[in-house]
Amino acid sequence: MPKLNRPPLPIVAEHDTPMPVRDGTILRGDVYRPASDGPFPALLVRTPYGAGSFLMAPKTLALEAGFAVVLQHCRGRGSSDGEFRPWLDEGDDGYDTVGWITSQPWSNGEVVAFGMSYLAGCALQAAATRPPGLKAVVASMTPHDFYDGLKYHGGAFALGSALNWGLLQEMLGLMHGMEAGEDVGAGFGALLPVLGDQAAAVRRLPLRDIPAGPWWNDWISHPTRDAYWEGLAETLRHDRIEVPVMHVAGWFDLFLAGTLENHRRLGGPLVIGPWSHGSGATGTGRLDFGFFSSAQGVGLPQRQMDFLRGEDTGPAVKIFVMGDDVWRDEEEWPLSRAVGTRYHLHTGGLLSTEPPSDAAPSTFTFDPRDPVPTTGGPLLLPDVTNTGPQDQRDIELRPDVLCFTTEALASDVEVTGPLSVTLHAETSAVSTDWTAKLVDVHPDGRAMSVTDGIVRTSVASGVHEVDLVATSQVFKTGHRIRVEISSSNFPRFDRNPGTGRTSADSTEADLVVQHQTVFPDSYVTLPIVPR
């Protein structure tokens, strides 16, 4: 029988270690380090989600790699003092925490930062303050901006994810206050009914009436990129980040666009798997991509640690190609060899590379009282099963969803890269939304979603670009490529009342029926990779 003969690694663990920052607030966290004399570099993870999220940190790998590990609660969360204000304090608090670490007798003066989602944002915001001693960052599945791609997409409010996250943070805030001895009974009384039935909450109008935390009104009161969002953007200045950054994304992650933009601005290795937010599993939605599609299967945790140690020898870009279900190394993103190819939306439902000869438009009627329900996609909703690729056949039966489909493919077609839909469209409403979805239609009839997007407009008639972000999908021989067009994707995005007012200030009585026209010179641009 094989014997590993591995010696134990003695460690020193300190729970709720105080770490003061510049304004006198005491932040706290757990510190783990090898029991030997050191000194050691340190891996820093900062979180607003409490001690449970510490379990996601690569503590064992980091300790085995010779790092000390500092797992810190953001201010106003966990055991840290202060008031939690999303994104506002993370840069300065991160700077001060790096300084605290490098002043410890066990520190060798070097710190690396690691995180996913908000935790990755903390790491990047700290890097933007240029703390002495910070050497590298691994940032997974995180936005590049707090307006574009986080709370708003194409001008539409990301209702479902904003509400879900806002309610979570409100609950954590009440729990923090309760632990501090505050009377939070009224707060829980208002929060729990909404938290327990978010499906009802998202339908409430005006949105301003939802008790979703102290920041909710800020988010819904600033539907355009104004001074409020510009002030937050100052906390994440990419032009001030000088340390190397490794980026990890998922094809079905709601922050795919943000991660790709972080990579474009900062450089560094990029890994994109067939994952939803926070997942590195083999299956997403209704599809399983095989064992080696997982983060563990591709060796991602060890590569991240190699990167933080300055020893990464992996490819510049590593992507999972769905359909073929294989990993592929690339030298760049996006791929220069991909050819942008127009597939035209013909009247009658054909999707074809041939330009349309017909002049008659396609039409549908959209009633915001009965929006198209969100079915799959890059989501962060309470129903964790409704994410990633999902069968769209029921959705496609709706009269307010137009479908444009190719003939069965005679050979494989690989679509890898950024993609978009260009709509020449017209509406009867003062304002409206245009949504688009790319779908892989299987020979057995399944219509599996690939990616989607939205654009909000107050232009009655014009050309609108719907950003579908990116994918790497091989449409196999015998499959068909489909594009769906509609005017809602709810509750992923809020409903457009059609009056020019926002859903933050509209009632159910304000909603107007919208008559929509899509002209046949509309098209989807697919980045086709020659095979």
Q: Is 506 assigned a catalytic role?
A: no
229-245: string of b/e by CB count within 10 Å (b at 16+)? beebbebbebeebebbb
Q: Select which of 277, 346, 464, 479 is catalytic.
A: 277
Tokens of 218: 């800020």
Stretch (H or E) spanning 158 = none
Q: Select which of 93, 148, 253, 391 is catalytic.
A: 253
d(Cα 427, Cα 435) in Å, to the nearest integer? 13
Classify 491 as helix, strand or coil. Answer: coil
Can you state the percent helix, strand and coil of the chain, rounding each to 5?
Answer: 25, 35, 45
Beta strands in 326-460 (DSSP E): 326-330, 339-345, 351-352, 362-366, 402-405, 413-427, 432-441, 447-457
Which stretches of 330-482 are DSSP H helices? Answer: 393-396
Residues 6+ apart with CB under 8 A from 317: 269, 270, 271, 272, 329, 330, 331, 332, 333
Cα–Cα distances (Å) from 232 to 152, 219, 273, 387, 502, in that order, read 14, 12, 29, 29, 22
Q: Is 277 assigned a catalytic role?
A: yes
β-partners of residue 249 are 272
CB 11 within 8 A of CB 33: yes
d(Cα 526, Cα 435) in Å, to the nearest integer? 17
DSSP 426-467: EESSSSEEEEEEEEEE-TTS-EEEEEEEEEEE--SEEEEEEE
Q: Is 117 assigned a catalytic role?
A: yes
CB 376 within 8 A of CB 389: yes
Residue 56: closest CA among 171, 150, 160, 138: 138
Beta strands in 105-182 (DSSP E): 107-116, 134-140, 152-153, 156-157
Tokens of 161: 């994810």
Q: Select which of 117, 276, 362, 486 is catalytic.
A: 117
Among all residues, which ones are annotated catalytic? 117, 253, 277
